[in-house]
Amino acid sequence: MFTPDLDLNTDTIRAKQLIQLESQYQGQISMTSVYQLSDVKASDWAFQAWKSLAQRYDCPTNNLSLAKLNNSVISRAEFAVGLNTCLNHFLSKLDQIKSTASVDDLRVWERLQTDFATELAAFNSKVGNLENRTQTLEDNLFSTTTQLRGEVLFQLADSFGSSIDSDEDETQTLFGSRPRLNFLTSFTGSDVLRTRIGTSNIGRLNQITGTVMTRLGAEGDDEGAGSMEVTYRFLAGERTAIGVGTSGAGVQQAAEVLNPLSSSSRGAISRFGRRDPATLRGAGSAGVTIQHEFSDRVQGGIGYSTGDAESPDEGLFNGSYSAIAQIVVQPTDFLELAFAYNREYQSEGSDNLMGDTGSENANNPFDENAMVANHLGFQFNWYVNDGLEFGGWFGYTQAQQKQNGSQEATILNGALNFTFPDLGSEGNVGGIIIGIPPIVTNHDNADIEDEKTSWHLEALYRIRVTDNIEITPGFFVVTDPNHEDNDAIWVGTIRARFGF
């Protein structure tokens, strides 16, 4: 049987030889017609013809398909993709190469189109449909530079147990919602201007239980007034990001929160269970943040936020403020460690030193007098395996009175969290949090030291209903609420999230 010279680096191979080769192949009883082939092999006439024309006219081919074909076989559909690319290239240069293109080459192009007409038609149809869908998407974009994202939370919650202000059981079922719209605008492709508009009418359980240890992760009632946050984040070099904001730029924006359950809408159901209240909560939400990657495994962040940037009496530096510095180290691919220092100043009248978590003494250790606090925090998160992440934090606070006295206080808090990704089904998440809310362990006035130790025990299970709908039932219990000799308080809740 005649075998042509297939040295494609010379001009001796012509399409006529390929056509002759096909004719002889088809004359063999053992050969199958090209129309009946479900796959294309390197030895088939179609591939040899395509390869010859591609190299002679320097047209691009489907490299992935070509590599696969040189080792085994590819489907007719995959072959048609490469053929279509090469054919379009040939037709686009036809005016330039018409003086060198032979009649035999044109016959081969025509024969390949005929043999793979079905696959080419199907491919072009898919491309056409994709172009139409892309055009429809572009026509209906909210903005060419702005993305609209949002969510609506619905929260049902109740507490069980005696209020610390009363010996009688006081329960009241709370139900409310928290819709939020986020407008994410980019001007350069490496920056984001986030404008958040939201409102909330979810009540606060501490108004029933008498302790902020029962506060929920998502709550608050703005009585229809609504709220707006504006932050702008941009890159200053390849490894440095700078953020500024009139609101929504608190210390937690400068520091990494390693807890996988830190989100108010998708994570812990309690306020305390989200993050270390010593270093990762603070005065103010307006300010500036800088984050820098020193290497792939070490990054740092600094930030400054003020209590009320719009107040003429306090300004940016005269009122309550927080200044934070953090370093995050990743010694292995599965372990992250974070160390943070937060210096906080609370002006006169403030009673929220620990982010409204923990005991009354921890939040207001100096009877609402001005104070300074130095917070130290440590976090870790260990990716044990696909089904378990283990982490936690420890916070240490040394506070000093700066008005009407100079007393000092030591406040501690800590927690361990267990996260179970894809628990029961893909997209579901289970979580357990065990911790001690902020507690005054030492004070110059011994009467303000907390007498008991409260434990916070929490469990939740986030169920993925669809890509945009999640339902999270959960509960937590606080023993000896407010670090006093009180009966335990239980909180049960169901949270539903609708995202878009």
Q: Which residue has the tokens 């100079």?
A: 406
Is 8 inside a domain boundary?
no
* Domain end residue (candidates: 97, 123, 138): 138
Whether residues 58 and 71 fall in one domain: yes
Residue 498: which residues within 8 A CB-CB, separation 6 or more? 151, 152, 153, 154, 468, 469
Give a yes or no: residue 381 inside a domain.
yes
Q: Which two tokens stand for residue 435?
A: 């911790």
CATH number, domain at 213?
A: 2.40.160.10
Bridge pairing between strands 240-245 and 146-160: unpaired
5 lies in some domain:
no
Do residues 89 and 123 both lie within one domain?
A: yes
Domain co-membership, 82 together with 196: no
Query: Is 6 part of a structural domain of the chain?
Result: no
Is 414 within the bounds of a domain?
yes
- Please give the residue range of the domain that contains residue 237: 141-499
**Looking at the structure, do residues 41 and 92 belong to the same domain, yes or no?**
yes
Assess if residue 30 is contained within a domain.
yes
Question: What dihedral angle (degrees, nearest 10) is formed by the CA atoms of 208, 210, 216, 217?
Answer: 150
Separation CA 441–CA 445 (nearest Å): 11
**Statement to judge: residues 357 and 228 lie in one domain:** yes
Statement to judge: residues 128 and 149 lie in one domain: no
Domain identity same for 162 and 131 = no
In tens digits, the chain (500 residues) has pLDDT values of 333 333 333 333 344 444 443 443 343 333 334 444 467 777 777 777 777 777 777 776 555 455 455 556 677 777 777 777 777 777 777 667 666 667 777 777 788 878 777 777 777 776 667 767 666 666 655 566 788 899 999 999 999 887 776 655 556 788 999 999 999 998 888 889 999 999 999 888 988 899 999 999 998 888 777 788 889 999 998 899 999 988 767 777 889 999 999 999 999 999 999 999 999 988 877 889 999 999 999 999 999 988 654 444 444 556 789 999 999 999 999 999 999 999 999 998 888 899 999 999 999 999 999 999 999 999 999 999 999 999 999 999 999 999 999 999 999 999 999 999 999 999 999 999 999 999 999 999 999 999 999 999 999 999 999 999 999 999 999 999 999 999 999 999 999 999 98
387-406 b/e with 16+ CB inside 10 Å = b? eebebbbbbbbebbbbeeee
CA–CA separation, 157 vs 203, rounded Å? 9
Classify residue 53: in a domain, yes or no.
yes
Shared-domain flag, residues 373 and 476:
yes
Instruction: Examine the domain organization and report whether 279 and 347 are in the same domain.
Output: yes
> Residue 248: which region, alpha, beta or left (left: phi > 0; alpha: psi -120 to 50)?
left
For residue 29, what pLDDT is reported?
32
Residue 110, SS3? helix
Q: Does a structural domain hold residue 442? A: yes
Instruction: Indicate whether 126 and 152 sit together in one domain.
Output: no
Of 111, 138, 165, the one marking the end of a domain is: 138
**Cβ-Cβ contacts under 8 Å for 21 (sequence gap 6 or more):** 2, 3, 4, 45, 48
Rg (CA), the chain: 33
Regarding whether 282 and 410 lie in a shared domain, the answer is yes
CA distance readout (Å), 439 to 79, 101, 281, 435, 452: 69, 86, 16, 11, 9
Task: Domain count for the chain, please give it.
Answer: 2
DSSP code of 447? Answer: G
Q: Point out the domain boundary residue: 88, 107, 138.
A: 138
Shared-domain flag, residues 134 and 266: no
